[in-house]
């Protein structure tokens, strides 16, 4: 199988970590017989300041028609304080490519990284499916009497049957494919009686089609507490956009922070975007301190999306072995730089 991959390093540490992710994933793909060709694009704050746009018109259509995936680094630069370029790139990709799944694996690789007492890799191993195109993020709202004591601000959450059903179905399909035993749906239907009643009803109907998977529901406040007290209760967790945003960062904390937190913005079968959860980290850009593992793990998710779970597993196993060996950057307690971590991962993938 051959796929074109668009590489967008972005700002700050984005290009450094993406370079290592591309190397490691490229090698794993080759070993698995997956033929990847990488094309780099310069979209970044520099590009925006020079051209006045984050990405040129028509490029997303090109990605959708001709590319298997986008490997993304990070955006964020103080010269663009409103992050206009980041919005055009990331929200643009999400909406123009209809990337309705935000997939966030929460996997603890070693007990040392977990802030919870007595919990290990068997306890913290869940996958969050965050709905990525609806909810409070659609931009429906308004402000009235702005700047006065009578000011009103409104932000409307939008949920469609189609949007709700497809993310819930994706969570169940993932559970079946990956031999996960349960899917938890989290909402706030006791307070948001219209929008989240739709989630409840849709969840029950879709769950009935997957009798082999245990289906249960937790209100989002309870889910947040349970993730901390009993993370082992969760296998696959599906939720709406805002709650998913919050719970997935809680999850990143459980797995030890930004160093190993990976993500995919996915439309199954179509060009999808994979990026580390961390930002551009301008404080360490160019120093060699950036940990490339989250980017590498995001690239592993890309390999899985492109149909090579064995290549993805090879990369993930290399990361696990490398963390165990202490061949890591300063943030994880080691003394290697970004390129050295990439080189050792590459050696492990090729071994």
Q: Which is nearer to ligand ATP, 102 or 164 (CB)?
A: 102
CA distance 129 to 240: 8
When the beta carbons of 194 and 283 are compared against ligand ATP, the nearer one is 283
Rank residues 90 and 185 by Cβ distance to ligand ATP and give the closer one: 90
Q: Is 254 in the site for ligand ATP (CB under 6 A)?
A: no
> CB nearest ligand ATP: which residue?
279
Q: Which of 245, 304, 327, 331 is catalytic?
A: 245
Confirm whether 283 is a catalytic residue. Answer: no
Among 121, 279, 309, 334, interactor with ligand ATP by CB under 6 A: 279
| Distance of alpha carbon 21 from alpha carbon 10, whole angstroms | 14
Catalytic residue of the set 4, 30, 249, 289: 249
User: Considering beta carbons, is residue 186 or 322 the nearer one to ligand ATP?
Assistant: 322
Query: Applying CB under 6 A, does 284 fall inside the site for ligand ATP?
Result: yes
Catalytic residue among 62, 112, 122, 221: 221
In whole angstroms, how close is the CB of 328 to ligand ATP at the nearest point? 10
* Residue 321 CB-density burial (10 A; 0-12 exposed, 13-18 middle, 19+ buried): middle
How many residues touch ligand ATP (CB under 6 A)? 18
- Of 184, 129, 189, residue with least CA distance to 157: 189
Q: How far is CA 327 from CA 35, 174, 257, 346, in A?
A: 29, 32, 18, 12
Residues 210 and 148: their CA atoms lie apart, in Å, by: 53
> Does residue 82 bind ligand ATP (CB under 6 A)?
no
The answer to whether residue 177 is catalytic is no
24: nearest Cα among 315, 239, 338: 315
Print the binding letters for residues 259-278 with ligand ATP: x by CB under 6 A, - otherwise. x------------------x
Compute the least distance from the CB of residue 283 to ligand ATP, in Å. Answer: 5
What's CA 108's distance to the chain center, in Å?
Answer: 16
Distance CA 320, CA 119 (A): 17
Which single residue is written with the structure tokens 């290549």? 311
Please say which residue, 13 or 271, places its beta carbon nearer to ligand ATP: 13
26 belongs to the binding site for ligand ATP (CB under 6 A): no
Interface positions, 289-348, toward ligand ATP (CB under 6 A): 289-291, 294, 331
Question: Catalytic site residue 245?
Answer: yes
The torsion angle over the Cα atoms of residues 224, 225, 226 and 232, rounded to 10 degrees, is: 80
Active site residue 82: no
Q: Please give the C-alpha separations between residue 307 and each of 30, 81, 113, 186, in angstroms, as whole numbers.
A: 13, 38, 30, 29
Given the complex with ligand ATP, which of 43 and 100 has the nearer CB atom?
Answer: 43
Angle at alpha carbon of residue 95, lines to 92 and 98, rounded to 5°: 130
49: which 2 tokens?
């300041």
For residue 111, state whether it binds ligand ATP (rule: CB under 6 A). no
40 neighbors 314 (Cβ within 8 angstroms): no
Judged by CB under 6 A, the stretch of 103-111, 128-136, 283-291, 318-326 that binds ligand ATP is 283-291
Beta strands per DSSP E along 28-100: 35-41, 69-74
76: left (phi over 0), alpha (psi -120 to 50) or beta: left
126 vs 284, which CB is nearer to ligand ATP?
A: 284
Among the listed residues 76, 244, 256, 264, the single contact to ligand ATP using CB under 6 A = 76
**Does 253 engage in binding with ligand ATP (CB under 6 A)?**
no
78 has catalytic annotation: no
Q: Are strands 236-239 and 182-187 parallel, antiparallel or unpaired?
A: parallel
- Positions annotated as catalytic residues are 137, 188, 221, 245, 249
* Residues found near ligand ATP in the complex (CB under 6 A): 13, 17, 74, 76, 258-259, 278-284, 289-291, 294, 331
């Amino acid at each position: 199988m051959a796929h074109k991959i668009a590489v967008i390093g972005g700002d700050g540490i984005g290009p450094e970590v993406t370079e290592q992710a591309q190397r490691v994933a490229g090698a794993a793909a080759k070993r698995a017989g997956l033929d990847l060709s990488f094309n780099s694009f310069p979209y970044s704050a520099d590009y925006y300041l020079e051209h006045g746009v984050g990405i040129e018109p028509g490029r997303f259509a090109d990605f959708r028609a001709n590319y298997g995936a986008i490997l993304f680094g990070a955006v964020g630069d103080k010269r663009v304080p409103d992050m206009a370029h980041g919005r055009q790139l990331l929200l643009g990709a999400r909406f123009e490519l209809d990337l309705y799944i935000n997939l966030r694996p929460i996997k603890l690789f070693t007990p040392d990284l977990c802030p919870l007492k007595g919990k290990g890799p068997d306890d913290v191993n869940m996958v969050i499916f965050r709905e990525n195109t609806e909810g409070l993020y659609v931009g429906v709202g308004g402000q009235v009497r702005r700047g006065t004591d009578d000011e009103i601000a409104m932000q409307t959450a939008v949920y469609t049957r189609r949007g709700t059903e497809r993310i819930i179905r994706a969570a169940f399909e993932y559970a079946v494919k990956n031999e996960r035993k349960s899917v938890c749906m989290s909402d706030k239907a006791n307070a948001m009686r219209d929008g989240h009643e739709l989630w409840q009803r849709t969840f029950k109907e879709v769950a009935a089609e997957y009798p082999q998977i245990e289906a249960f529901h937790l209100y989002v406040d309870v889910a947040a507490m349970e993730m901390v007290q009993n993370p082992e209760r969760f296998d696959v967790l599906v939720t709406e956009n805002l709650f998913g945003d919050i719970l997935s960062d809680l999850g990143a904390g459980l797995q030890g922070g930004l160093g190993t937190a990976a993500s995919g913005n996915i439309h199954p079968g179509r060009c999808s975007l994979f990026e580390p959860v961390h930002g551009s980290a301008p404080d360490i850009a160019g120093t060699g301190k950036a940990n490339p593992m989250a980017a590498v793990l995001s690239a592993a998710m890309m390999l899985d999306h492109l149909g090579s779970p064995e290549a993805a597993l090879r990369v993930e196993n290399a990361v696990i072995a490398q963390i165990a060996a202490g061949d890591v950057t300063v943030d994880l307690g080691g003394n290697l730089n970004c390129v050295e971590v990439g080189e050792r991962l590459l050696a492990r993938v090729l071994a």
